[in-house]
Amino acid sequence: MSVLLEATGVAVEYHRQGAAPLRAVDHADLTLARGEILGLVGESGCGKSTLGRAVVGLQRTAAGEIRFDGRPVAPLGLRRRPAGMRGLQMVFQDPYASLNPRRLVGDQVGDGYLLGGTTKAEARRRAGELLERVGLPADAVRRYPHEFSGGQRQRIAIARTLAAEPSCIIADEPISALDASAQASVANLLVELVRELDMGMVFISHDLSVVRQIADRTAVMYLGRVVEVGPTRQVWSEPAHPYTKALISAVPRADGGGVLPVELPGDVPDPSRPPGGCRFHPRCPVALPSCAENDPPLTILRDGRSAACVLAK
Amino acid sequence: MTVGTLLEVEDLTVWLATRNGPRKAVDGLSFRVDAGEVFGIAGESGSGKTMTAMALLGLLPHAARTGGRAVFEGRDLLAMRPRELRDVRGRSIAMVSQDPSTSLHPMLSIETQVTEHMRHHLGIGRSEARGRAVELLSTVRIPDPERALKAHPAQFSGGMRQRIAIAVALACEPRLLLADEPTTALDVTVQAGILRLLDRLRRERDLAVVVITHDLGVMSAVADRICVMYGGRTAEIGPRETVLTHPRHPYTRGLLDALPHPEGGAATLRPIPGSPPSLGGVPEGCPFHPRCAFAVDSCRAERPDPAPVGSGHRVACPPDPLGGTA
Amino acid sequence: MTTGSRTPWRQPLALVGAAFVVLWVLVAVLAPVLAPYGPLDQIADKLLEPSAQHLFGTDQLGRDVLSRVIYGAQVSLPLAFLLVALSAVIGSVVGAVAGFFGGWVDGTLMRLADLVFAFPGIILAMAVAAALGPELRNAVLAVVVVSWPSYARLVRGLVMSARNSEYVAAGRLLGSSSVRTMIVDLRPNVAGPVLVMAALDVGNAVLLLSGLSFLGLGAQPPMAEWGSMVVSGMDYFDLWWLWLYPGLSILTVVLAFNFVGDTLRDALDPRTARAIRG
């Protein structure tokens, strides 16, 4: 499989007045192949959304390189995005914020075609087709976003990205703002589209069970860094990083067993002052004395797996 | 574990005012909660689970009406005057809500918020209240409770804030804690901590907890008995293990099937087709019939009441299509 | 905006406001037909009390007060509309540029606006009008100078919040340039609130213009302008018809546009139009 998207050593800093810059993402690596779904998981504040925004160019990076289809991704400025970058699109978390409340659905979905150089009438016709493709009635083109439910809005937002004929979609928590019943169907739609159109997708989520179900590979982030990547099945069955292990055993199972999930003691440290050495060592149940000093890089193990832990084999 | 029934809800009905007149948000709900028990109410948004909690606390919106009875320690909560209810609420019944950033006051110190109810309901002095607050904070595992008392909510993470909200709820040693989606806004590792805390409190303090959540994983972890609600009505009610491993209502089955499978594999999720009814849009007959794969003619006409199918297990599905597979 | 926009207009104040706006616009347009006499014609004895002949009486120069009030609408309303339009356009452009580009552009433009905000409107307008010379045209300019910053602030806020919104980000990712984004995505969000502010401002403009005329800095005699009519009527305070009728005209116009502005705000608010989710 060919590499579609590659991020190496990406860092993102937020500059705050009168305080040290906050490194929301620090030295994160990601690769995505065509036709692949990569699940990016981690708890709030780990930098997964920031990394997602940096990858499409919505966030300026402080270090590292991002390449899409072999070309470097430049942060979005005042100018138009280069045409070659249109294949890299994003689906946002909140479909109430990601659609303009005062523009017709058809105009918003048709934008992608219009900006690709088709006529207005043609853009509207094809917007109707796209809306049908994502499971909405064709007359949705003449309606406003507020007339739709959360799940339907997210379908509209997905249709809008499809108008740019993308080869890669970054989906930032695309189902977490939706009702339980809409979550599954929107996730299914995304998976279906990725398979059918042979795209790649980075599926960013805090919901581990959904990622486990749909992702080919899973990347786990902790405190701004990717600490483990590998084929989803292996990452789940034998996690290499202690944080991955803690995360997985914290997910309660609906098996009626009455088993309390395992607690990970301590709080996530302040990202502006990450602990020295391995970032996870203060909470790590198996930390060695040396972990407080040496910061392990993401190292390739075997079977396409990598982990950033000295104990990982 | 059963020491006695603490709360007995019978035929609870809640009408909410809508543009088209009053509509039933909760329709004939009956359940009981024993002391020291964790009772779970599961359902999607709009199933009436939050309105049930609000009705018990007397916190329904204006123009809402209630029917039925909710007997708590021998007294009917629904028949109480606002003044009496205010006394029960906060003292014998306490509540923890989904979002600790809105349930805690951002400008008041933790000390003020934890001691306020103690001093009001129990009539104890400042220094005694302070001592109990320190104890409470260490019960909910807030590190350095003395210092935490002087801090403000913004200085804590979401998980710590939820722990503080629980401490506030426990201030007057309530007998019953209503927890409405207490972990939905939290990360999984933090959620695990809160679930363990609730479990410990019920064991150590003989506290009854009603957990309201859409997350069947959370249910499975903490609840002793579960009530599954749909369209304001009980679909199924029974012991945790029975309901989650041998569900008899097609809706419960559907909810479980919609969960990502523990072993992965299937590659797609299996949602229940359609969407839950809105307030006032609950169909005739069984509220679930339009989405049910097993619906027969009688489901469209008659509204089923939960009927016993096993020990403590009641199901509102007369055709009982899953009965054979149990 | 489809279903919810009907109800706000059914409120009594909205109806009264709309009725008065329509009435005054008709009066202004049809002034030559409606007015029994010309505004400057000295057709009768001085200072006659209201009678069947002269419904609003006559003034100190023997002019028919009713006719002058009617012609006054022809002066005040078009000028008010013109200067509100000018302020709204200037303010919106400044605000949009400041909000969209941010940084030093924003800093400079907004400090300028703050400078204007630092003085009470009427005082600054007086200063400007006095500096330019007492003339109606200069009074209009003075009012524009004091009223554009409100629009600039409003539009800047709207543009800034919309600029960081996800739908603008999505549009940019699709390849939309910043100028196209501003026009296509931000314009509909800005147009409604600006329209509401403008409607509310028409009343203010009438009041400011009359105020300047009242102070002798706007319309000059013998022009039939309500503010200057009130001030010349003040010399004969017990002859109430001289100042009451032009005063009432100002009052009704100001109130009517305020009611209409409030109603517009309710009608254009997406929250009132948004379906209630169950």
pLDDT of residue C277: 29
Spatial CA neighbour of C20 closest among C85, C83, C73: C73
Residue with tokens 């002066």: C75
Element (H, E) at B175: none
Cβ contacts (< 8 Å) between B46 and chain C: which residues? 278
C56 falls within a domain:
no
Mutation for A interface: C159, C163, C174, most A CBs within 10 A: C174
Q: How far apart are CA A212 and CA B266, in angstroms?
A: 10
Helix (H, G, I), strand (E, B) or coil at A271: coil
pLDDT of residue C177: 87
Element (H, E) at B235: strand B233-239
CA nearest to C272 within chain A: A146
Task: Kindly report the CATH number assigned to the domain that includes residue C166.
Answer: 1.10.3720.10
Q: How far apart are CA A104 and CA C258, in angstroms?
A: 30
Q: How far apart are CA C196 and CA C188, in angstroms?
A: 13
Are B173 and B150 in contact, with CB atoms under 8 Å apart?
no
Mean pLDDT estimate for chain B: 89
Q: How do strand B225-230 and strand B38-42 relate by DSSP bridges?
A: parallel
Return the higher-pLDDT residue of B100 and A30: A30
Mutation for C interface: A53, A79, A80, A178, most C CBs within 10 A: A80
pLDDT of residue A178: 85
C55 falls within a domain:
no
Alpha carbon of B108: minimum distance to chain A alpha carbons (Å):
23
C178 falls within a domain:
yes
Element (H, E) at B80: none
Instruction: List pLDDT tens digits, range C230-252.
Output: 888 888 888 889 899 999 999 99
Average pLDDT over residues A250-271: 85
pLDDT of residue B2: 46
pLDDT of residue B326: 44
Cβ contacts (< 8 Å) between A89 and chain C: which residues? 173-174
Model confidence band, residue B40 (pLDDT cutoffs 50, 70, 90): very high
Tokens describing residue B230: 């749909």
Model confidence band, residue A116 (pLDDT cutoffs 50, 70, 90): confident
Number of separate domains in chain C = 1
Q: How far apart are CA A192 and CA A186, in angstroms?
A: 10
Spatial CA neighbour of A130 closest among A173, A163, A87: A163
C84 falls within a domain:
yes
Cβ contacts (< 8 Å) between B258 and chain A: which residues? 180-181, 184
Reported ipTM: the value is: 0.88
**Cβ–Cβ of A256/B199 closer than 8 Å?**
no
Average pLDDT over residues C35-45: 86
Spatial CA neighbour of A78 closest among C101, C164, C170: C101
B window 33-92, beta carbon within 8 A of C: 46
Q: How do strand A71-72 and strand A88-91 relate by DSSP bridges?
A: unpaired
Return the higher-pLDDT residue of B155 and B315: B315
Amino acid at C162: A
- The shortest CB-CB distance from A252 to any of B218, B261, B271 is to B218
Cβ contacts (< 8 Å) between B215 and chain A: which residues? 252
Tokens describing residue C126: 């007086």
Chain C residues near any Cβ of chain B (below 8 Å):
276-278
Q: How far apart are CA B215 and CA B43, in angstroms?
A: 8
Q: How far apart are CA C116 and CA C147, in angstroms?
A: 9
Alpha carbon of A179: minimum distance to chain B alpha carbons (Å):
7
Query: Residue C1's CB: how many other CB atoms inside 10 A?
Result: 16
Return the higher-pLDDT residue of A57 and B266: A57
Tokens describing residue C239: 């002859």
Report the range of poorest mean pLDDT among A292-296, B22-26, B99-103: B99-103
Longest distance between any two alpha carbons in chain C, whole Å: 75
Cβ contacts (< 8 Å) between B281 and chain C: which residues? 278
Helix (H, G, I), strand (E, B) or coil at B318: coil
pLDDT higher than 80, residue A254: yes
Report the range of poorest mean pLDDT among B10-14, C84-88, C130-134, C271-275: C271-275
C243 falls within a domain:
yes
Average pLDDT over residues B76-105: 87
Model confidence band, residue C4 (pLDDT cutoffs 50, 70, 90): very low
DSSP state of B89: B
Domain that holds residue C189: 3-37+62-276
> Using H for helix, E for strand and C for coil, what is the string for chain C?
CCCCCCHHHHCHHHHHHHHHHHHHHHHHHCHHHHCCCCCCCECCCCCCCCCCCCCCCECCCCEEHHHHHHHHHHHHHHHHHHHHHHHHHHHHHHHHHHHHHCHHHHHHHHHHHHHHHCCCHHHHHHHHHHHHCCCHHHHHHHHHHHHHHHHHHHHHHHHHHHHCCHHHHHHHHCCCCHHHHHHHHHHHHHHHHHHHHHHHHHHHHHHHHHHHHHCCCCCCCCCCCHHHHHHHHHCCCCCCHHHHHHHHHHHHHHHHHHHHHHHHHHHHCHHHHCCCCC
Instruction: List pLDDT tens digits, range C67-126.
Output: 999 999 998 899 999 999 999 999 999 999 999 888 899 999 999 999 998 888 888 888
Mean pLDDT estimate for chain C: 86
Share of chain B above pLDDT 90, in %: 55
C176 falls within a domain:
yes
Alpha carbon of A244: minimum distance to chain C alpha carbons (Å):
31
Share of chain A above pLDDT 90, in %: 70
B9: phi then psi, degrees, rounded to nearest 5: -105, 130
pLDDT of residue C171: 92
Q: How far apart are CA C278 and CA B44, in angstroms?
A: 12
Average pLDDT over residues A64-73: 93
pLDDT of residue C273: 44
CA nearest to C277 within chain B: B278
- The shortest CB-CB distance from A253 to any of B190, B220, B268 is to B220
Amino acid at A230: G
Model confidence band, residue C8 (pLDDT cutoffs 50, 70, 90): low
- B73: exposed, middle or buried (C-beta count within 10 Å: 0-12, 13-18, 19+)? middle
pLDDT of residue B9: 95
Q: How far apart are CA A309 and CA A295, in angstroms?
A: 9
Average pLDDT over residues B161-186: 91
pLDDT of residue A256: 84
C49 falls within a domain:
no
Average pLDDT over residues B106-134: 90
C51 falls within a domain:
no
